[in-house]
Structure 1
Amino acid sequence: MLTAAAVAVAIAVVAVASWLIVRERLYQEVHDNLRGAPRQGPLGARSPALFCGATPADALRQVPVGGDDRFGPQKYDTQVLLKDGTVCFLGGSVRALQVADDDLPPSTSPRAESYRDGAYLNGDQALVRRTTTVVRADGVEQSAVLLTALPTGGVEKSLNSLALLMAGVAGLGVIGAGVTGRVVARSALKPVDQLTDAVEHIARTEEVGTTIPVHGKDEIARLSTSFNSMSTALANSRERQTRLIADAGHELRTPLTSLRTNVDLLIRSDAQGRALPAETRARMLGNMKAQMQELTVLIGDLLQLSRPDTPNPEAVRTVVAFHDTVERALERGRLRGPSLVFETEVNPWFVHGDPAALERAVINLLDNAVKYSPPGGTIDVRLRAGRLTVRDRGPGIPAEELPLVFERFWRSPSSRQLPGSGLGLSIVAQTVRDAGGQVALGPAGDGGPGTQAVMVLPGQPDRPEQGQGPEQR
């Protein structure tokens, strides 16, 4: 409708302008023709006989049928107006003009040539030229006004026909523009209809992940691409949420079941008046405390992993002294493995990242090394040019299990009896990915026993200036 309205306005403006131009041109041609009509002709000292009357109608009745037609071309209609208001005609076929009040000849100076719109006695429109002349009436020469006219009925008829033609063309143009605009709009907005259907489908069924085809590179295509990206992101988020809930439910079931069993046993023993031995009761309470600690760790890990897989740009803008982070993690690692030997080499390195997340990632690597190291074993920790290596002397990881170590809740069958939730390395992988780095786990580089974890983070050895990020290496 907007397209049709715009076209209608444009056609109306063009049509009116064209009609006005044609009208001006046609009337200009009539004016030019009238300007070329004779101004004196036989109206001089040898003027032919005049047929006069008090009014144009009376004078016209005095003209004999088939009378004198020597006055000029017949395409002009002429009549003479004397000073006393008498109207005179020459012989021939003539049409009488209506006389205006200012058509009378002046009594002093001759009238300058002028033009006016006039009309015949029958009402037909005409363009009238007024010029001053001299005629002989009743044997006396006297000044008079010569009225020369050309009918403009043909011009008006042509203009009316042109107006009707333009109105018809304009109407067809508006209808055609409306139909064409509707077809083009429906075709152009078809992706929007598809997008609407997809959104309504998602709102009705909650089936995220629905996409629509994208054609071209215009705004509609960009909107479709954005919707597809949003729908895919929602599907991935839903999948992560579902997987996290399923994994959390599976992992929480074991400690909760153990806690419930121990609590039920304690309550039943007290209710029956059969107190458990002190040693058994202490062991059960210790198990319950350990299960609570495991639940606490598991819930913290789940909260950490509940973040999106994609890095958050707002969370990686803090400059972190990574070497200080490694030192703090080593202090906690030594407390957890007091019988172990830590050989360290930590060089300065500054990165962009989340300080707490990076510290937790390093602690998780050290926890794994402490957990699998034999008593009195050695753990090597090296930070050189942004490359952190943590190597233990434990049993190592079978080659077929290496691709699975960063999966959520995955635990090696040989370590199921050890404490842990299977989320530590997943947290490490996500944190390193958020910081733009890489992490890998594999056999020791020197071919000896144990496992070596390698974390590489982009940065630089000197603290960057304010507003500058670390050099990406």
Structure 2
Amino acid sequence: MTPAIPPPPLAPPRVPHRPRRRFVTWYRARSLRSRLTFLTAAAVAVAIAASALACWFIVEERMYGVVNSDLETVRGGGPPAEFGDCASTPQAALRKVQSEGRQPTAGGPAARDTQYVIPGPATLFCLPPIATKAIVLEPDDMKILELKPNQFVIRDGHYTNGEPAKVRVSWDRVNPALPPALVMVATPTKAIEDSLRQLAFVLGGVALGGVILAGLAGRLVARSALKPVDQLSDAVEHIARTEEVGSTIPVHGEDEIARLSTSFNSMSTALANSRERQTRLIADAGHELRTPLTSLRTNVDLLIRSDETGRPLPPATKTKLLGNMKAQMQELTALIGDLLQLSRPDSPKPVRNLAVVALHEIAERAVSRARLRGPGLVFETAAEPWFVHADAASLERAVINLLDNAVKYSPPGGTVEVRLQQGVLTVRDHGPGIPPDELPYVFDRFWRSPSSRQLPGSGLGLSIVAQSVREAGGEVALGPAPDGGPGTLATVRLPGAPTAG
């Protein structure tokens, strides 16, 4: 038994040729300047090609229109018997005319390219005595006999020597004894075709020259238009290479390129300012952290040295030393918490724990904590109900920082006034106040008034207040007391409503 032969494996399917995809791939791989040059040349080429074609067709229509008009007015006539130059084929009739050299008789037809065709058992072709060309008869020309005597058809044809012509075909009864005859009148069109061919060459040359000039002009225009883009690319590459933010490029005009350049300059300046703020934050944070860390290290060294030397510190001194270390640790913890709070950007961003918060309750809790920190102070409070949409923890910390600031600068036995009316929270102390020239800097990070450098604090409290209030969609301001008295007035405005609904 012959074993079965397995069928040959199927050939992989043939992937059809996709020139469009190749063109798209090639186009996307070009530079922007090359794309603009190509698009400019292509647009001009299409415009020139359309204009050239329209011109060629208009000229063709007008030239052939003149020929057709002339053929419509030509009339052939006269009985073919007067010619006496008839034969069974046009070529034979032409040879007979040329061999006899006859002259036309008086009253006979004078049309040089006129030809009569007499149908019958033996079709005859008759030419005038001075004829130099014979017209080729087409099979459909016999259908002209079905038309009326004064009707005709103009068609494309040619002479027996192959020369093109426009042929007017009609019929007429030139001899009562003979059947109706086809009257063929022709006008040569070789000169017209030669002129149209020359016009096509001229228009093609003009189009090709226009495309070349358009490509050169597009290259120059693209180079001039993309010069700001090149400058922008150089600036971006310089920043990427050197990491030197803040570089800008010149801006000219008000077009899209100028807007792009302006946006880049704004972005570069913003990055430079951000890096500067970051550097300043790191430097200020390091400076602020150095003081408690140095104090802690000194105290720890003192405790270690007392143990190593075998001379323990007195209990009172050791207790005081441990108390100082605890206070420094608390200050360090608070400073780190403030730094974490301010690690977010200056610009407001969406807060995840947004909810309807009772601002009056937050103010009451903050006043309760402030009383513990300033036991000798008098707190006058008046809070109307006000509900806002904010992060409760962040907003409470902001109010506590405002009250801590008031407690810190209030004199012993002073009064701190806290008011909440129509969404406006005010906190006023009766301390020394803030000089007018220092008011623009009170919300800057790590900024501390020269007159308060000896007081505890990191200079971050009011920065946290400003950031928290901005995140809640409100405004905060710090200024002198409205009545001209001593102290500082802090004002916080938050959008909200007197009811929770």
Question: How does the TM-score come out when normalised to structure 1?
Answer: 0.83
1:201 to 1:463, Cα distance in 2 relative to 1, 3 A: farther
Distance in 1 (alpha carbons) for counterparts of 2:221 and 2:315 = 87
Contact 1:321 1:351 in 2 (8 A): yes
Tell me which residue corresponds to 2:23: none
Return the alpha-carbon distance in structure 1 between the equivalents of residues 417 and 201 of structure 2: 98
> Do the aligned partners of residues 464 and 205 (structure 1) sit closer, same or farther apart at CA in structure 2, a change above 3 Å counting?
farther
SS of match in other structure, 1:326: helix
Residue identity in the other structure for 2:463: S
Q: Tell me the distance in 1 between the aligned counterparts of 2:453 and 2:155.
A: 114
**2:169 maps to 1:133:** no
2:425 touches 2:492 (CA, 8 Å); kept in 1? Answer: yes
Where does residue 90 of structure 1 map in the other structure?
128
Give the letter for the 2:103 counterpart: G
**1:442-461 equivalences in 2 (<5 Å):** 442=480, 445=483, 447=485, 451-459=487-495
The equivalent of 1:118 in structure 2 is: 157
Q: 1:423 to 1:114 in 2, by over 3 A?
A: closer
Q: Give yes or no for the alignment of 1:345 onto 2:391.
A: no
Return 140-149 or 193-202, whichever deviates more: 140-149
Counterpart contact for 2:114–2:128, Cα < 8 Å: no
Q: Is the 8 A contact 1:77 1:150 kept in 2?
A: no
Note if 1:55 corresponds to 2:93. Answer: no
1:160 to 197, 200, 219: 197
Distance 2:439 2:70 in 1: 105
Aligned pairs, how many? 458
Instruction: Look up the equivalent residue of 1:236 and give its one-letter code.
Output: N
Counterpart in 2 of 1:362? Answer: 399
Give the aligned residue type for 2:170: T
Amino acid at match of 1:132: W
Structure 1 residue 446 displacement after superposition:
5.8
Alignment correspondent of 1:468: none
Given that 1:78 and 1:148 are in contact with CA atoms closer than 8 Å, whether structure 2 keeps it comes out as yes
For residue 300 of structure 1, what is the aligned residue in structure 2? Answer: 337
Partner of 2:78: 42
Distance 2:291 2:401 in 1: 22
Distance in 2 (alpha carbons) for counterparts of 1:98 and 1:173: 43
Partner of 2:323: 286
Match of 1:391, as an amino acid?
A: R
Alpha-carbon separation, structure 1, partners of 2:146 and 2:39? 65
Residue correspondence of structure 1 range 178-217 to structure 2 within 5 A: 178-217=215-254
Alignment match, 2:283: 246
Q: Say which is worse superposed, 147-156 or 426-435, in terms of deviation.
A: 426-435
Matching residue of 1:408: 445
Structure 2 residue 450 is matched with structure 1 residue 439: no
Q: Deviations over 1:239-274 (max 9, x none)?
A: 111110110011111111222222233334444544
Amino acid at match of 1:62: K
Other-structure match for 1:470: none
Q: Deviations over 1:333-387 (max 9, x none)?
A: 1122233322222233445554433322221222123234444443332334444
Asked whether the 8 Å contact 2:430–2:488 carries over to 1, the reply is no
What do residues 200-255 of structure 1 show as CA deviations (whole Å, max 9, x unaligned)? 22212222222333344443333333323322222221111111011001111111
RMSD: 3.4
Q: Which whole-Å CA distance do the structure 2 matches of 1:367 and 1:254 have between them?
A: 21
Q: 1:72 to 1:161 in 2, by over 3 A?
A: farther
> CA–CA distance in 2 between the matches of 1:158 and 1:346?
100
The separation in 1 between residues aligned to 2:362 and 2:199, in whole angstroms, is: 89
Q: Check whether the contact 2:410–2:429 (CA below 8 A) recurs between aligned residues.
A: yes
Q: Which residue of structure 1 lines up, in the alignment, with residue 39 of structure 2?
A: 2
Which AA in structure 2 matches 1:122?
N
Q: Is the 8 A contact 1:365 1:453 kept in 2?
A: no
Q: Identity of counterpart residues, as a percentage?
A: 59
Q: CA deviation digits over 1:423-460, x for unaligned, max 9?
A: 22333344445544242243684635xx2232141546
Contact between 1:437 and 1:456, CA under 8 Å: does it hold in 2?
Answer: yes
CA distance 1:114–1:409, change in 2 (3 Å): closer
- Distance in 2 (CA, whole Å) between partners of 1:232 and 1:106 is 88
Corresponding residue to 2:104 among 64, 68, 90: 68
Cα distance in 2 for residues equivalent to 1:110 and 1:461: 99
- Over 3 Å counting, the alpha-carbon distance change for 1:100 and 1:340 in structure 2 is closer
CA contact (8 A) 2:402 2:490 kept: no
Task: Normalising by structure 2, report the TM-score.
Answer: 0.79
Which whole-Å deviations, capped at 9, do the CAs of 1:66-93 have from their partners, x for residues lacking one? Answer: 6227644446443445531333222114
Structure 1: 5+ residue stretches without partners: 466-473
Q: Does 1:222 align with 2:256?
A: no
Farther-moved stretch of structure 1 (102-111 vs 10-19):
102-111
Deviation at 1:151, TM superposition (A): 0.9
